[in-house]
Amino acid sequence: MNATTITVPQADPGAGYRAQRAEIDAAVARALASGWYILGKEGEAFEREYAAWQGAARAIGCANGTDALTLAMRGLGIGPGATVVTVSHTAVATVAAIEMVGATPLLVDIDPDTYTMDPDELVAVLDDPPPGLPPIRAIIPVHLYGQACDLAPMLKAAAAHGVAVIEDCSQAHGATLGGKKVGNLGHVACYSLYPTKNLGALGDAGVLTTDDAALADRIGAIRQYGWKERYISSDVGVNSRLDELQAAILRVKLTALDAGIARRQAIAAAYDAALADSSMAPPARRADAGHVFHQYVLRTPDRASVMARLRAEGIATAIHYPQPVHLQPAYAGRTPLGPAGCAETARAAGEVMSLPMFPELTDAQVGKVCSALRGL
């Protein structure tokens, strides 16, 4: 076993707590003292504040990002007898959520440069769906690694076919497309607030945003058993509530989100400059998209060697994601694919690697990574 001491972690959610320890501790104490721990004033305040930050009419807190996706689909009436199009190069949660509501996932390929959904293949399957599948009722484009999808042609095709657009923004809090924040472009947007996200709780949490008041009300009811009147279920619902402790913590962390994004972008710029003297290329950016660098992802066919060399210098890396969803044992051989067969997805999974990326990286740690990159 390599006993190298890691001095630059790939992620460190504890650093986010330490950076705002006094404020977070005070918020937790306030929530504890209130005597109200589920769907109370802290959650309501977080929903208002997040909606305002996002530029959306409404935000609805929930238990986690996977639930956010399922609540969005339930709110739109999507379940058994429907197909939902998404990608295989994503956290498995995206596909798991589709199956959790009883719908059928159809996985299309990615653009090999940005790793986000290939709009041409999406248009192709909307125009000519694969035979034997239920009707396509929704698409879930994933804004991956902090960069927006090429969403304009997807929105146009979805509108032409009467298909709902559910934006998976779990890695893209604050990312922009054409100067507008993602999450404001489809019917509803879903965000994980897992501790390592750009906006992360200190436990599980999620949130949805939408400008559709009726949809927001329905999702808000479904997250608590479908109640509009207490103890009376108007819809078939679930239990997916954002607790008051996490809401209080998220209110504090939201105040630092813009600064955290700016720091991520500065770290990415330093990595870019270092890679100018390397054989490896920086991550591709789309000209109309504002990247928020949830991850800084390099691509190389020599991944194992590069990761080992960085680890030998005390620098941790990660792979997001090592195996496409459609090739994982739980899904292999039974999940429908688009006409490209997710070929680019499979190639990317064998070559991508993520460098250290979180706002609390010190200048010295960033400098160490940059020195190592120049030697690659």
> Tens digit of pLDDT for each residue in 105-120?
999 999 999 999 999 9
pTM value is 0.97
Among residues 374, 358, 146, the alpha carbon closest in space to that of 280 is found at 374
Residue 233 corresponds to which tokens in the numbers above?
A: 């279920």
pLDDT (tens digit per residue) in 31-69 = 999 999 999 999 999 999 999 999 999 999 999 999 999
Question: What whole-number distance in Å separates Cα of residue 49 and Cα of residue 56?
Answer: 10
- Cα 65 to chain centroid, rounded: 8
For residue 225, is pLDDT > 50? yes
Quick count: other Cβ atoms within 10 Å of Cβ 259? 11
pLDDT (tens digit per residue) in 149-173 = 999 999 999 999 999 999 999 999 9
pLDDT at 3: 66
If you ran DSSP here, which 8-state letter would residue 326 be given? G
Question: What whole-number distance in Å separates Cα of residue 189 and Cα of residue 167?
Answer: 5
> Could you report how far apart the first and last alpha carbons of the chain are, in Å?
23
pLDDT (tens digit per residue) in 17-34 = 999 999 999 999 999 999
Residue 258 corresponds to which tokens in the numbers above?
A: 């813009």
**Rounded alpha-carbon distances, angstroms, from residue 262 to 255, 256, 258:** 13, 10, 6
Question: What whole-number distance in Å separates Cα of residue 125 and Cα of residue 108?
Answer: 8
Question: What whole-number distance in Å separates Cα of residue 191 and Cα of residue 49?
Answer: 15
pLDDT at 1: 38
Question: What whole-number distance in Å separates Cα of residue 107 and Cα of residue 338?
Answer: 6
Name 224's Cβ contacts closer than 8 Å, sequence gap at least 6: 39, 237, 239, 240, 241
Q: Which residue has the tokens 């997250």?
A: 223
Name the 3-class secondary structure at 299: strand
What mean pLDDT, rounded, does the chain reach? 97
For residue 184, is pLDDT > 50? yes
Residue 203, amino acid: G
Radius of gyration of the chain from its Cα atoms, rounded to whole angstroms: 21
pLDDT at 331: 98
**Which residue(s) pair with 209 in the sheet?**
59, 189
